[in-house]
Structure 1
Amino acid sequence: MKAVRVHAYDRQPTIESVPEPVVKGPWDVLVEINAAGVCRTDLHIIEGQWREKSGVQLPYTIGHENAGTVREVGSAVTNASPGDKVILHPLVTCGLCRACRSGDDVHCESSQFPGINTDGGMAELLLTSARSVVKLDEGLEPAAVAALADAGLTAYHAVRKAVPLLYAGTHVALIGAGGLGHIGLQSLLAMTPAEITVIDRSPEALDLATQLGAHHAVLADGTHIDAALEITEGKGAHVVLDFVGEQGTEADGVALTRQAGSYFVIGYGGRVDVPTIDIISREINVIGNLVGSYNDLVELMALTAQGKVALRTRQYPLDQALQALADLDAGRIPGGRAILVP
């Protein structure tokens, strides 16, 4: 089968033929990939940012946002059958550790993360586990939801954590209205009564945010902090959701957080540098956000089936994966997600 493989960091992946995975264990599920999302994390992998954290042996297949059709299942699988259309939770988890048993499977003690530390789904087939499979509702197609498996799930997870803080009358500043941010915005609108200010350097992304229902749109042009603070009468936002996490948004996010507010870091690549006296005197919270749980993905699929969350996508055939990665890196997919369709 064809697959997108990383052979060395700081070098372009290659598209090549590799052996097909086969079902061996009782909980295995073999999925024909109909859609694989192209994520900024894939760029960070190629750059080598995950070199130490993942410990993966090169070469390997990237791709951690996957949806498709079940081809074959192991002898113990009862929640999926050949022919089912599914989206895949990005982690393959054990189900036995304390984290899994408490529903916090994101922190499974022995998980695998296809596309990060083992072979992923930018390929024609992916071997996963019954614990990772979510069947799609009627009317949902893999290409329309694949990027929700990680980007959408991460955005939803952050919003879900922020919901208790966002009662009527509160304000949210959302930094970055691109692939993650536009999903986070829709989740906020579906789940909270908060007033929402979106900040982005792309006029096209801001136009999309306004169309989706953002209450305020601020262009990141160097004056955006003052403009956003003016909307909140100088107090800042109760919650700041930073879907960029690099290139200066870290400082912007802290500056926009009001006294006793919370700065949620979702995008990454930069550094949060806050003097401890500021954390204490302002009593602000800095909250990290990993990908969401299996239950988060089920809830997100319910919102999607209800028409409350939808992806803006651009599709590429698998043999144009390098072009999709280049377009993402160059910012040529504003407000949307690239999807590989094998």
Structure 2
Amino acid sequence: MSTMRAVQVVGYHQNLALTEVPIPEPTGPWDVVVRIGGAGVCRTDLHILEGQWAEKSGVQLPYTIGHENAGWVHAVGAAVTNVAEGDKVILHPLITCGLCRACRSGDDVHCEASAFPGIDTNGGYAEYLKTSARSVVKIDDALQPADVAALADAGLTAYHAAAKAARRLTPRDRCVVIGAGGLGHIGIQVLKALTPAELIVVDRNPDAVELAVSIGADQGIVADGNHMEKVLELTGGQGAEVVVDFVGEGGATGEGLRMLRRAGDYHVVGYGENLDVPTIDLISTETNIVGNLVGSYNDLCDLMILAARGAVTLHTAKYRLDDFQTAIDDLDAGRVRGRAILIP
């Protein structure tokens, strides 16, 4: 049996390990094996190593990590007709059943019988990955797997939240984006493509704010302690109709809610701390607090159209698969602009 290199979680609170494992083969009729062209390195991967997902995922160690994947179709099961060997594809992060109520509604993220490569089964920090026909999206010839891999999860999550936020935004409205890093810089481009509202971006890092303005933010504010006042000033003292929070920790949620106007929508995307909201404030202002998970298969198809048009481009830092530890360390230390990508 031929083998491949794979980066695996061998224990929580310890480093990932590079190992040799068998190359996956299609066993079921709908299986698709993909040769990985790029795998995104995500903050969730750091959370996995810290054991934050251990109970939720119930995964057996060791297993291969990595849930943002793109590449070329290597082999397909007997029933697969939507892709063929050699096709260039990006992978929806979930393997879904297609039969439950959520799947039938196109809300496949909430599938009742899903598997999640990189979280609860083998992922893409490897040379090959097994997924299903329902999870592969063919990508435009002009796009390269290593350039779009992180759109599979970071991009898809940002798209999902931005598309939900955009449904209520009009030209008179303002939308505050908290965090212009890996997810935020994609969310800003999606909002720019989907809504005429004014975009105000807040980030601690002056470089990230500069990037945000260069890719479409109307206002960039460095979170230096006076940022709340600046946002209120820009919104006539009222706050913004929508806040999309790509940080969700370190005090961002309290500030995010304070930047919101009455009857506003507060979208939570980044996570890490608890929300503390007096219920009297919720009812008196009619605030909507909206959770955002990753987007659906249809969201990914829409996002790939924006990518092919050049409306969404990913800023990436590329690493060889063997240099996975450097990529993880760089992400942890905040040295990555945009997204880190592993290339086998």
TM-score (norm 1): 0.99
Q: Which moved more, 1:104-113 or 1:275-284?
A: 275-284
Q: Residues of 1 paired with 2:44 and 2:279: CA distance?
A: 29
Residues 275-321 of structure 1: per-residue CA shift (max 9 Å, x gap): 11111111101100000000000000001101100000010000111
Q: How does 1:147-166 map to 2 (within 5 A)?
A: 147-166=150-169
Task: Give the counterpart letter for 1:3 in structure 2.
Answer: A
* Secondary structure of 1:315 counterpart: strand
* Secondary structure of 1:5 counterpart: strand
| Aligned residue in 1 for 2:286 | 283
From 8, 17, 21, the equivalent of 2:20 is 17
Query: Shift in Å at residue 65 of structure 1?
Result: 0.1
* Secondary structure of 2:118 counterpart: coil
| Aligned residue in 1 for 2:62 | 59
Q: Which moved more, 1:325-334 or 1:143-152?
A: 325-334
Question: 4+ runs of 1 displaced by more than 6 Å?
Answer: none
From 331, 335, 340, the equivalent of 1:338 is 340
Query: Shift in Å at residue 26 of structure 1?
Result: 0.6
* Secondary structure of 1:2 counterpart: strand
* Secondary structure of 1:325 counterpart: helix
* Secondary structure of 1:79 counterpart: coil
Query: Shift in Å at residue 139 of structure 1?
Result: 0.4
Q: How does 1:196-215 map to 2 (within 5 A)?
A: 196-215=199-218
| Aligned residue in 2 for 1:100 | 103
Q: Residues of 2 paired with 1:65 and 1:230: CA distance?
A: 39
Task: Give the counterpart letter for 1:24 in structure 2.
Answer: T
Q: Is the 8 A contact 2:95 2:135 kept in 1?
A: yes
Report whether the alignment pairs 1:320 with 2:323: yes
Number of aligned positions between the proteins? 341
Query: Shift in Å at residue 273 of structure 1?
Result: 1.1
Q: Residues of 1 paired with 2:14 and 2:221: CA distance?
A: 36
Q: Share of identical aligned residues, percent? A: 63
* Secondary structure of 1:188 counterpart: helix
Q: Residues of 1 paired with 2:211 and 2:308: CA distance?
A: 21
Q: Residues of 1 paired with 2:84 and 2:268: CA distance?
A: 38
* Secondary structure of 1:165 counterpart: coil
Q: Is the 8 A contact 2:36 2:127 kept in 1?
A: yes
Structure 1 stretches of 5 or more lacking a match? none
Report whether the alignment pairs 1:91 with 2:81: no
| Aligned residue in 1 for 2:81 | 78
TM-score (norm 2): 0.98
Q: Is the 8 A contact 2:34 2:73 kept in 1?
A: yes
| Aligned residue in 2 for 1:260 | 263
Query: Shift in Å at residue 33 of structure 1?
Result: 0.4
Query: Shift in Å at residue 3 of structure 1?
Result: 1.0
Q: Residues of 2 paired with 1:18 and 1:276: CA distance?
A: 52
| Aligned residue in 1 for 2:307 | 304
Q: Residues of 1 paired with 2:65 and 2:157: CA distance?
A: 18
Q: Is the 8 A contact 2:88 2:141 kept in 1?
A: no
